Amino acid sequence: MWSVGCIFAELLGMMKESAPTYLDRKPLFPGKSCFPLSPDRHARIQANGFPVTKDDQLAVIFEILGTPEENDVAFVTDTKATTYLKSFSYIPRMDLSKKYAGATPDAIDLLNKMLQINPYFRIPVKDALDHPCFAKIRKE
């Protein structure tokens, strides 16, 4: 569902109201590195010892979705991973209706439900297909 949400966001980003020209279109989360799998070797070190850059994949995601709250990362069991997640400074969730000005409120609602950090909080496939966003095109 996360991947479908990312693709859906790119489709919403192709609307003229969201991106006036094709040059303005880009992926929702264009990260370039990801600690610990592919850390940026030129990254500065934060006080807690983790390398962080603005292009780090999680930093890019958190700029849009906000930093996760405790219940968002409750499914993570690795201690180092939870420590890393807690190392990010607070960022509020972006209002996606401002990023995708041409999208309907139903489309924004569906996108928000798809792009939940915690996979247990994401909308299930059946509920996504039954979402009001698709009411005009759905055939039972």
Q: Which domains does the chain have, with CATH numbers?
A: 2-134 (1.10.510.10)
Phi, psi of 123 (to 5 degrees): -65, 135
Q: What global pTM score does this model have?
A: 0.85
Phi, psi of 6 (to 5 degrees): -65, -40
CA triplet 54, 55, 58: central angle to 5 degrees? 90
Reported as a single tens digit per residue, the pLDDT across 42-97 is 656 654 666 666 778 888 999 999 999 999 999 999 888 888 888 888 999 999 99
Nearest to 52 by CA among 32, 67, 35, 69: 35
Reported as a single tens digit per residue, the pLDDT across 121-133 is 999 999 999 999 9
Q: What's the pLDDT score for residue 99?
A: 93
| Single-letter code of the amino acid located at 69 | E
User: How far is residue 33's CA from residue 5's CA, in Å, rounded to a whole number?
Assistant: 21
